[in-house]
Amino acid sequence: METEKPRILVGDKIVDEAIAMLRQNADVDIKIGIGQEELESVIENYDALIVRSVPLVTEAVLSRGKRLKVVGRAGNGVDNIDVDAATRHGVVVVNTPDSNSISACEQTIALMLAAARNLPQANAALKQGSWGRNRFMGNELYSKTLGIVGLGRIGSLLATRLKSFGMRVIACDPYITPERFKRFGVERMETLNDLVRQADFITVHTPKTEETVGMIGEEQFKIAKPGVRVVNCARGGIIDEQALASALRQGIIAGASLDVFSNEPCTGNPLLEFDNVVVTPHIGATTHEAQHRVGTDVATFVLAALRGEIAPNTVNLPCLMGDELDSLRPHLILAESLGKLYYQLDKGPVERVELTYSGEIANKETGIITLAFLKGLLTPVMGENVNLVNASWLAENRGVKVFEKREAEATGYLNLITACIAQDGKQTSFAGTVGLDNGSRIVRINRYQMDIVLTPYMLFVEHLDRPGMIGFLGTILGKANVNIATMQVGRVTRDQEAMMILSVDSPLDEVVMAQLRQLEGIRSVKAISLR
């Protein structure tokens, strides 16, 4: 029987190629400029919704969207989407911030060069019939220090490109790991003021928030390096425009380049009066390539979410670049499998989860790995309604406290994920690693050390460590036509208790489980499904 295609509602214009991509995989309805009331009335019929800055994706929309799995924002900001409500309802929210990143990066470089070489002034003078080269003496970027405020998508692209200009690149971003600074060959500044004191060019690439509005202002201009130039292609208001105008009048800075302003359209702004200020009307993302990518990217991400995959730009998940997500994928599989183990081994209510990331994985973005563990933990008791988006919220609402630890070394392993689960005065722990083949392996269950590949069907048997136990158990499984793929025994002390873990090719019925439990010396038998 043919599977019913998902239904997608497109509420604003995206390129024809993106629509074609969607229609290859889904039934698509296009309602450009759909009103709020109509959206609320029809959303129950759709699995996905694509919007731009309108309409509003509110709690009312999300609560009525019983089938809704993903909302795609064709663009960067998600101000028109209630992301918290989407998270509660388990709806993935994706956007396309990378779609215009290259365009914004190149606009930043263009404005830097225009300011450093006085290009707009030279262009205007020549068209007015004046040659006069000496008036337009400029400066090279080579050997200068570039200060990047915000080493996210655009900031890192800028660092890569301007290092090839021979610039020294420094950056300040308290939310970026030291590993990312090393990855892009950027010197990390502890504070914004440390950056300002050293930079010949300062460029901002942060979101506009209460924390970042006016973050470069009078205080920073007072301590800035003489002759500094500032660039803003991010959001208007991050650089205090009044303080910037004052610094220009006083000759504290050599010039500025602005694509964005506090109030847009920008008219009557005093910054427009300065010859050493280069301005453009918010065109950082205005390229044919960026607008094409916005449409095709949102289509790609929405279709990925509908397939149950993780899209690189999921707003209500930890933010990952595409290559970072690829490198973490085996660890996500491992973490979810470890999470699934608990309620199949122990039925007690969980009070606390502590995940320890050791070795190479400790330097990665572990937040999404923790979500994968919680998804695995909660799915056996809450069903298919648990996903990476709502796993943390569901855990919190069940009173589960979640903690992360990182350790530089993982003795005997390149990477190790250890889960400790506390409940009712007891603690259960297990650890796993990703092998060189990217396969998931479990290496410890409570006090038992072992090393076995995790497979869809497994059997965990606690028993007395005595001769013949493996044979007795194997005989019962053989008579039931259950094939053993792999098997390993872990023990602490000879002749005491041990644990046997078996990978089997098919699930075990209750009749076989009862026979196994009746074997002399068996303490417990648990059939585990990791499907």
User: What element of type H or E holds 290?
Assistant: helix 288-306
pLDDT at 321: 59
Share of the chain above pLDDT 90, in %: 58
Q: Where are any strands of DSSP class E within 264-323?
A: 277-279
Task: Decide if pLDDT at 23 tops 50.
Answer: yes
Residue 319 binned pLDDT confidence (cut-offs 50, 70, 90)? low
Buried b (16+ CB within 10 A) or exposed e, 272-302: eeeebbbbbebebbebeebbebbbbbbbbbb
Burial class (CB in 10 A: 0-12, 13-18, 19+), 258: buried
pLDDT of 2 > 60? The answer is no
- Listed residue (363, 415, 370, 408) closest to 178, CA to CA: 363
Q: Which of 29, 17, 6, 11 is nearest to 297 (CA)?
A: 17
Residues of each domain in the chain carrying CATH 3.30.70.260: 455-531
Six-digit token pair at 133?
Answer: 């080269």
Taking the C-alpha atoms of residue 406 and residue 361, their distance in angstroms, rounded to an integer, is 9
Question: Residue 279's pLDDT is what?
Answer: 96
What's the CATH superfamily of 320-446?
A: D-3-phosphoglycerate dehydrogenase; domain 3 (3.30.1330.90)
What is the Cα 319 distance to its own chain's centre? 2
Q: Which of 17, 37, 44, 264 is catalytic?
A: 264
Average pLDDT over residues 104-126: 95
> CA-based angle 113:221:147, to the nearest 5?
45
**Looking at residue 148, what is its pLDDT?**
97
**Average of per-residue pLDDT across 2-9:** 86
Residue 468 scores a pLDDT above 90: no
Model pLDDT, residue 52: 87
According to DSSP, the β-strands at 277-279 and 201-204 are: unpaired
| CATH code of the domain occupying 100-279 | 3.40.50.720
Predicted confidence at residue 398, as pLDDT, reads 80
Mean pLDDT of 291-309: 92
Could you give phi then psi for residue 295, rounded to 5 degrees?
-70, -50
Instruction: Judge whether residue 385 has pLDDT over 80.
Output: no
Query: What pLDDT digit, counting tens, does each position of 439-450 carry?
Result: 999 999 888 888
pLDDT at 215 over 60: yes
pLDDT at 368: 87
Respond yes or no: is residue 235 known to be catalytic.
yes
- Give the pLDDT of residue 384: 60
264 in active site: yes
**Residues of CATH 3.40.50.720 domain(s) within the chain?**
7-95+290-316, 100-279
* Residue tagged active-site, from 88, 205, 235, 491: 235
What pLDDT band is residue 318 in, cutting at 50, 70 and 90? confident
How far, in Å, CA of 52 to CA of 72, rounded? 8
Write down the CATH number for the domain with range 7-95+290-316: 3.40.50.720
Average pLDDT over residues 137-141: 95
Are 45 and 24 within 8 A, CB to CB?
Answer: no
Residue type, 304: A
Residue 306: pLDDT above 50?
Answer: yes
Superfamily of 455-531 according to CATH: ACT domain (3.30.70.260)
**pLDDT over threshold 90, residue 41:** yes
The stretch 502-518 carries a mean pLDDT of: 89
Determine the 3-state secondary structure of 300 from DSSP.
Answer: helix
Of 156-160, 224-228, 307-311, 471-475, minimum mean pLDDT range: 307-311
From 229, 282, 293, 331, active-site residue = 282
Average pLDDT of the segment spanning 149-167 = 94
What average pLDDT score do residues 308-323 get? Answer: 74
Q: Is residue 1 over pLDDT 50? A: no
Report pLDDT for 363. 86
In this predicted structure, what is the pLDDT of residue 373?
94
- What pLDDT score was predicted for residue 205? 93
Least confidently predicted of 403-412, 426-435, 440-449, 490-499: 490-499
Report which residue type is found at 35. G
Q: Is the peptide bond before 380 cis (omega within 30 degrees of 0)?
A: no
Banded pLDDT at 292 (limits 50, 70, 90): very high
pLDDT at residue 466 above 90? no
pLDDT at position 432, please? 94
Alpha-carbon distance 4 to 185, whole Å? 49
Average pLDDT of the residues in 27-50: 95
